[in-house]
Amino acid sequence: MNNEQLKEYVIKNMYGWWGGQGHCATVLGCIIEQNDVGNHLEIGTLFGATAIYAGLIMEREGINGIVYTVDPCLYETHEYCSRVAGNLSPDIVKHQSEIIYENIKKFELENRIVFINKSSNPIPEELLGVEFNSCFIDGFHYSGMPLIDTKNCVELFNMKHIILDDTHYRYPDVIKALKYLIGLKNWGMSVSYQNTSAFHRIIYKEPSMEISISAPMDKTKLNWPDFMEKEIA
Ligand SMILES: C[S@@+](CC[C@H](N)C(=O)[O-])C[C@H]1O[C@@H](n2cnc3c(N)ncnc32)[C@H](O)[C@@H]1O
């Protein structure tokens, strides 16, 4: 299945729903499928759609890595969802973590997805020491949280790819995180589509300092300036 088909497959077969009807799938999919190895972190699980989608792409591509997904599953952190989806009642939220586990089981991704039922801040101890390749930030959209999550990814997790969801003027706190990433000189934007924006760390490689000398050096053949000849002699 290609990414579009995978998205439809997840939506059709999961319990609950995919936040934003899956608008983030194109960008998330193209970042995940490019990684040949590495763990993926997700902040904001909801019912597991994006974690499952990432996990299925990793399965398809034979990518070695785990998807860690973090969500405190608390009604008071759901103002975004209750406003957009309209029907996230306290009752559904009470069962949110159970629904997440059921979905992981349904897609047979128990060995691929680790769900952490906590807030992303402070960083859950389960994540300390784990090396990550990429992060999808889709947790609490207010109170400076998107910037906190983004800074943690840049500074603490040494992430190579960061995907921000809902980079839209309706979410000024997400825009702050977007501006922060745009302002970092060693980060560049990879792709942005339908309010999902991906960034990557630009890795500068030092030129190799190794010089291989296959034969003894003949100083007479080197064209040094005079003052250098004296230095070398
Ligand atoms: C937009 S929904 C995530 C949608 C999900 N990625 C999907 O595509 O289906 C936002 C989620 O962030 C979670 N959330 C709220 N505060 C959080 C926090 N401090 N840490 C992690 N997740 C949080 C909410 O519980 C909610 O489930």
Mean pLDDT of 13-28: 92
- Cα(205) to ligand 1 centroid in Å equals 36
Strand partners, 197: 164, 192
Query: What's the chain's length in residues?
Result: 233
* Helix pair angle (3-13, 49-61), 10° resolution: 140
pLDDT-derived band at 95, boundaries 50, 70, 90: confident
- Give the type of residue at 155: E
Q: Please report the pLDDT score of residue 56 as a whole number.
A: 98
Number of domains present in the structure of the chain? 1
> Is pLDDT of 204 > 80?
no
- The answer as to whether 60 is a domain residue is yes
Distance CA(100)–CA(163), nearest Å, equals 21
- The answer as to whether 100 is a domain residue is yes
pLDDT-derived band at 58, boundaries 50, 70, 90: very high
- The answer as to whether 221 is a domain residue is no
The closest residue, in CA terms, to atom 11 on ligand 1 is 44
- The answer as to whether 212 is a domain residue is no
* SS3 (DSSP) at 71: coil
> Is pLDDT of 158 > 90?
no
Residues whose beta carbon lies within 6 Å of some atom of ligand 1: 18-19, 43-47, 49-50, 70-73, 77-78, 80-81, 119-121, 138-140, 145
This prediction has a pTM of 0.86
Query: Can you give the CATH number for the domain in which 20 is found?
Result: 3.40.50.150
- Cα(20) to ligand 1 centroid in Å equals 12
- The answer as to whether 155 is a domain residue is yes
Sheet holding 132-137, edge to edge: 113-116, 67-70, 39-43, 132-137, 161-165, 196-201, 187-193
- Cα(144) to ligand 1 centroid in Å equals 14
- The answer as to whether 233 is a domain residue is no
- The answer as to whether 229 is a domain residue is no
- Cα(217) to ligand 1 centroid in Å equals 64
* Nearest one of 43, 57, 56, 65 to 109, comparing CA atoms: 56
Give the H/E segment covering residue 34: none
- The answer as to whether 152 is a domain residue is yes
- Structural domain harbouring 173: 3-203
- Give the type of residue at 85: A
What's the mean per-residue pLDDT of the chain?
87
Give the HSE-up count for residue 25: Cα atoms under 13 Å, Cβ half-sphere: 22
